[in-house]
Amino acid sequence: MHRVQRAIIMAAGLGNRMRPVTLTTPKPLVKVNGIRMIDTVIEGLHQNGIYEIYVVVGYLKDQFMGLEQEYPGVQLIENPYYDTCNNISSLYVAREHIENAIILDGDQIIYNAEVLSSEFERSGYNSIWTDEETDEWLQTVENGIVTSCSRNGGKCGWQLYSISRWTAEDGRKLKYYLEEEFAQKGNRQIYWDDVAMFCYPQAFRLGIRPMLKGDVIEIDNLSELAVIDESYKKYGEME
């Protein structure tokens, strides 16, 4: 078994699909039923004994400053590329911390902290089995190993969520390939997840960590936000 020693929270994005709410508030700091999304992430990590936490910030970065005082162990890392590059840039600036790390987005809601457990057998993503059609990334798993991933979704597969763990060895590989793609090749408009899943899949033998629907909620747009928190329905009425 491996053990997570640190966490990297991705929180630099513009949150365009949740405008106008995110015009003045970065998406991870948006309150859902009175609680900021990133608070559920950090508190879930703390419940699992993970206190070395790096939050990668960019858009409206000053609003995150208070986190370092509110939560012991939190450190901010600035991503100067956030407005011109995809999120590969956020992991690139945090690449020195990937070994024995859990990487997750700050704009999701953790309802079951057990899904952030620090113990893990192999590198890979938290995933939910789905029989239904989805347009999210969908993995095929054989004997516990991810053998392929579809960008266009499908059905009867393991839907990938934005929570992943990386062993020391795989973290070093991921760091090397991040530098290769971002710095050497200038490939700056891909997701960081592309590096392991599509650019260099032969370099990793990823597994999955099963979880249940409802353990984690990813909110992609304003409509989904309004379903969970009715106070945001007013924005739909303004359209």
Residue 225 has pLDDT above 70, yes or no: yes
Walk me through the domains of the chain, giving residue ranges and CATH numbers.
Answer: 2-235 (3.90.550.10)
Pick the closest to residue 172 from 149, 196, 146, 190 (CA basis): 196
pLDDT tens digits along 141-170: 999 999 999 999 898 999 999 999 999 999
Residue 52 has pLDDT above 50, yes or no: yes
pLDDT tens digits along 53-67: 999 999 999 999 999
pLDDT tens digits along 101-128: 999 999 999 999 999 999 999 999 999 9
In whole numbers, what is the pLDDT of the chain averaged over residues?
95
pLDDT tens digits along 166-224: 999 999 999 999 999 999 999 999 999 999 999 999 999 999 999 999 999 999 899 99
- Spatial separation of the C-alpha atoms in residues 4 and 50, rounded to whole Å: 7
Cα-based distances in Å from 41 to 78, 101, 135: 19, 14, 25
